[in-house]
Amino acid sequence: DSFSAYRFEQYSLENQRALKSFEVGAGYRLDYDDNVALYPDDEVFIPTNADEEDFRHVIFGDLWYRKGLGKNLRFFSEIHASHSIHHDYSEYDLTRINLVAGLGGSYSRWGWRLPVEYTHDRFDGDSYRDSWAATPGFYIHLPGGLQTHFYGRFRDDDYDFSLSPSEDRSGEDRKS
């Protein structure tokens, strides 16, 4: 998630180089999935294709922007996009767009971060889920070069379709 990724980046880059204000990344990954029918949150099970195996090609791209707003305050924004293409089960091709923006503060022994995120997921071209999340947190540098961080994640998911007529996890009552 955004908070952990930021702390990992800072930890790995400390005393090596200053963070750039704008970065771009792109990549390709070949995955083997032994349970194609699980949706991204791994809570929904589709019995028709249980335990079906498939390979998928995943292309992804990332943009990061950071701007200092004084000595300790920083604005940050991120865009993450990915698209997967399955060999046999194209109905599970997933497109995901994740937008993040927020503020953070960094001090000598501690820091804080308040990211707000929007995520949009599409399966095989059909809208599936829109999510909004806020993940406030802080980190502390401990003696011995250790570091720890604490954060809470508050998320609201809106599902565009229900997988079974008896369950609509978005909490909306839909009548046909």
Per-residue pLDDT, 9: 55
DSSP string, 108-130: SSEEEEEEEEEEEEEETTEEEEE
Enumerate residues 6+ apart whose C-beta is below 8 A from 122. 94, 95, 96, 128
Per-residue pLDDT, 176: 45
| Helix, strand or coil, per DSSP, at residue 55 | strand
Rounded CA gap, 74 and 76, in Å? Answer: 6
Length of the chain: 176
Per-residue pLDDT, 137: 93
Per-residue pLDDT, 63: 92
Per-residue pLDDT, 122: 87
Give the burial class of 64: count Cβ atoms within 10 A of its Cβ; 0-12 exposed, 13-18 middle, 19 or more buried. Answer: buried
Give the burial class of 136: count Cβ atoms within 10 A of its Cβ; 0-12 exposed, 13-18 middle, 19 or more buried. Answer: middle
Backbone angles phi, psi at 138, to 5 degrees: -145, 160
pTM above 0.75, yes or no: no
Between the CA of residue 165 and those of 12, 41, 114, what are the distances in Å? 47, 19, 37
Q: Is residue 88 within 8 Å of 102, Cβ to Cβ?
A: no
CA 151, 112, 2 angle in degrees (round to 5)? 55
Per-residue pLDDT, 16: 42
Locate the DSSP E strands across 18-93: 22-33, 54-68, 73-86
Segments of the chain scoring below 70 in pLDDT: 1-19, 37-51, 161-176
Q: Give per-residue pLDDT as tens, 62-112.
A: 999 999 898 889 999 999 999 998 888 888 888 999 999 999 998 888 999
